[in-house]
Amino acid sequence: MSKIGIFFGTDTGSTRLVAKRIYSRLGESLADKPKNINRTRPDELLQYEALILGTPSYGLGELPGLSTGCQESNWQEFAPYLDGADLSGKRVALFGLGHQERYADRFASSLIHLYRLFYGQGADIVGSWSTDGYQFQHSHAIIDNRFVGLVLDQRGQPGLTDSRVDLWLTQVMPLLLPSVGAGWRPS
């Protein structure tokens, strides 16, 4: 069985902490340690058949990067390395952070750009997430009335993060690694 690759973009460290939580629940037998996308070569990411990718939200719902106010390179700077890559057959689950109170008009909208980047290259995106339990005006990260991935509000709802991560992982693990089966539970 191959492992899941976990990659994230971050600026303040919040997305990194969530990636580490996900990794700790999966364990080293199912996933490799999370890597910051700004320290990743394309071949490192492309070696995985199953990926969990995380992003913060910056700018006006853009792919985070230097032009959106990040202090270090992020997904925006990594994206050109995927131009022309065939991601067919790769299974990708996404998670994104946002602040629903402060940015209610564009809550977690950067997630849609990560979705489009990988979907547009042929990846199979799994793990959509209900919009129930959030209060916001608008998010670009919604398709068919569901977020395109797990959405977390570390500032407004930090107490819900662990339970949301656990439930989401229970849903996506059989899709990411079919050999694991539907009975998988977080560590």
Domain that holds residue 47: 4-176
On whether residue 183 sits in a domain, the answer given is no
Question: pLDDT tens for residues 21-37?
Answer: 999 999 999 999 999 99
Q: What is the CATH number of the domain that holds 136?
A: 3.40.50.360
On whether residue 22 sits in a domain, the answer given is yes
User: Rounded mean pLDDT of 158-162?
Assistant: 94
pLDDT at 185 over 90: no
24-28, 45-49, 64-68, 123-127, range with the lowest pLDDT:
64-68
On whether residue 181 sits in a domain, the answer given is no
User: Rounded mean pLDDT of 120-141?
Assistant: 94
Count: domains in the chain: 1
Token pair belonging to 92: 């990708």
On whether residue 184 sits in a domain, the answer given is no
